[in-house]
Structure 1
Amino acid sequence: MGLKWDQAEEIAEVLAENHPGLNPLDARFTDLRQWTVDLDEFDDDRNASTEGKLEAIQMAWHAIYKEQNEDDSE
């Protein structure tokens, strides 16, 4: 069973691994959508993305990014 659009946290974890060091707030939604549908684990309707789903993925990824980079800000 693959990843679906509503699995923001799981998608964010994979994107964080695939794009280390990238602040997800700097990513355009068009790129975020493409990176998501290109994931090997992704198994959902490519056209079923919405702004809300992309924002949820971006915010989940941002939480991971902040956690991974909090040592750098100290």
Structure 2
Amino acid sequence: MSLKWTDVLEIAIQLAEAKPEVDPRYVNFVDLHRWVLDLPEFSDDPQRGGEKVLEAIQAAWIEELD
């Protein structure tokens, strides 16, 4: 399976598993963008990861932890 920017929920789940020590409410978008690119299954154009998709990933990650 390869992840794309549109796979917001799956990205959030994988980030929650990969970074259990991180509180997503306080993550800046530079770090979040880099972490998504570093996910082993991620394979999409890095330039497509704009602010709106990063906000959606962050919100899904916060929701995942609740």
The structure with the larger Rg is 1
> Which residue is 1:48 aligned to?
48
Per-residue Cα deviation, 1:26-72 (whole angstroms, up to 9, x for no partner) = 10000000000011110100111110000000000000112xxxxxx
Q: 1:30 aligned to 2:30?
A: yes
Distance 1:59 1:23 in 2: 12
> Which residue is 1:64 aligned to?
64
TM-score, normalised to structure 2, is 0.94
Letter paired with 2:11: I
Q: Could you tell me whether the CA contact under 8 Å between 1:3 and 1:43 is conserved in 2?
A: yes
TM-score, normalised to structure 1, is 0.84
- Moved beyond 6 Å, runs of 4+: none
RMSD: 0.9
